[in-house]
Amino acid sequence: MHTLKLTAHIDEDGHLRLDIPTELAASDVDVVIVLQPTQATTNQQGYDFSDLVGKLQWQGDAVKAQRNLR
């Protein structure tokens, strides 16, 4: 059994194309593929609100206001 790890590119149409040379003889093989986004693509998080922490002065009961909105 051989384990290969490589970084590949998914096309705009969503296709992953692999052409992997091996030293194996011509035969049937089992292939297991695990797709995991690279660090660059997983770093897409929402807005960082840390610059707003502690700036809002709330007047009243915040939980009551949330219930009224629902």
- 44 confidence band (pLDDT: 50, 70, 90): low
Boundaries of every domain in the chain:
1-37
- Which residues contact residue 24 at a Cβ distance below 8 angstroms, ignoring those fewer than 6 apart? 2
Determine the average pLDDT of the residues in 38-61.
Answer: 73
b or e along 47-61 (b: 16 or more beta carbons within 10 Å of the residue's beta carbon)? eeeeeeeeeeeeeee
Q: How far apart are CA 1 and CA 59, in angstroms?
A: 65
Closest CA relative to residue 4, chosen from 26, 28, 25, 20:
20
Q: Rounded to two decimals, what is the model's pTM?
A: 0.41
Q: What percent of the chain has pLDDT over 90?
A: 9
